[in-house]
Structure 1
Amino acid sequence: MKVGVISDTHGLLRPEAITALEGCEAILHAGDIGSQDIVDQLSAIAPLHIVRGNNDQDAEWAKNIADHLRFDIEGWQTLLVHDIADVPALLDDSVKLVVTGHSHKPLIDWRGDTLYLNPGSAGRRGVSSCR
């Protein structure tokens, strides 16, 4: 299963990000989305798991978007949350993947049996390369 991971678009979905996400069977967006238009564009590509970031908190369009989600991807119990500081210090042992954003710094780090992933920023406030 090909899963696209993106974060911190801040209202801008770059063409190279769209190209990288094409063919995904699911997309995870770790917050600071920026607008309903981004949600609509990503939803047109693949089913979307999405959380609000600190810059989305007061937006009317984002009022029904959760602050965190927990779900299963191909047997991987996944926690999706914007800020790594909001990840509980003692995660339930069943969580195997934690996806965050906020820092704009890419991260791939195994902590025990749990993979922590931050794709970096894909939007206006600095861009890590789309992969």
Structure 2
Amino acid sequence: MDVHVGIIADTHGLFDPALRRHFQGVDRIIHAGDIGDIAVIDELQRIAPVVAVSGNVDRGQAGKFPAETVIDLAGYRIAVRHVIYEGGKIRRDARRFLDRVEPDICIFGHTHKPCIEWIGRLLLFNPGSAGPRRFSLPRSLGLLTIRNDGREVVHVPLAGRAERPPSAEGRGAGGLRSNHVVQSHGRSIRARG
């Protein structure tokens, strides 16, 4: 039986209504930090159970989550930590974390850049930022499917405007060209539309 996981990071207090559609039917949602407002987690919990870590800017209720966590799902060990890369390199403390927990998949955020990278058998995945658009970076989320024959991750672009949940203030921003990245067993397929 396939397991479907919605992956999100760097919302910075914004909830994009499109998440409801993209995450419809997922078994779990993983938020890789910089939540920004606990109301984002509340909205995600209405879709599916949520596993979350706090990011470097999370304070108050959004900062109540651990800095890192590990879950076992459908035979895969999944590590979640907000900061893995900094300055284009894996941080030393992140490397120690990965060596200690020996995950099959590591989900992270912080850079706001969608990323799929293999280091040996380890799949590193950053869904990109689902929060306000920053610089020229796209807004995106990730979907992970675990099947009997392996795992597949996909970046899904978010277009339009994100919105702050009812308990927060302000507005979101957005807009993005379609740019999907699919990776399955080390092979990448890129399609632009």
SS in 1 for 2:128: coil
The alignment partner of 1:33 has SS state of coil
TM-score, with length taken from structure 2: 0.62
Q: Percent identity?
A: 39
Query: Quick one: distance in 2 between partners of 1:14 and 1:51?
Result: 19
Q: Does residue 45 of the first structure (1) align with residue 47 of the second (2)?
A: yes
Normalising by structure 1, we get a TM-score of 0.90
User: What does residue 119 of structure 1 align with?
Assistant: 127
Letter in structure 1 aligned against 2:139: S
Structure 2 residues without counterparts, runs of 5 or longer:
85-90, 142-155, 157-193
Q: How many residues of Structure 1 are paired with residues of Structure 2 in the alignment? A: 129
CA distances 1:88-127 after superposition (whole Å, capped 9, x unpaired) = 2462474100000000000111110100000000001434
Q: Distance in 1 between matches of 2:100 and 2:66?
A: 19
Moved over 6 A (4+): none
Tell me which residue corresponds to 1:16. Answer: 18
1:88 is paired with a residue of what secondary structure? helix
Native 8 Å contact 1:10 1:125 kept in 2 = no
1:74 alignment partner in structure 2: 74
Whether 2:95 is the aligned partner of 1:88: answer yes
**Alpha-carbon deviation of 1:63?**
4.2
Q: Give per-residue Cα distances to partners, 1:32-82, cap 9 Å, x unaligned.
A: 0011110100111111110000110xx221343100001101111111000
Structure whose residues are more often strand by fraction: 2
**Structure having the higher Rg:** 2
- Structure number with greater CO (CA < 8 Å, separation at least 6) is 1
RMSD: 1.6
1:103 matched to 2:105? The reply is no
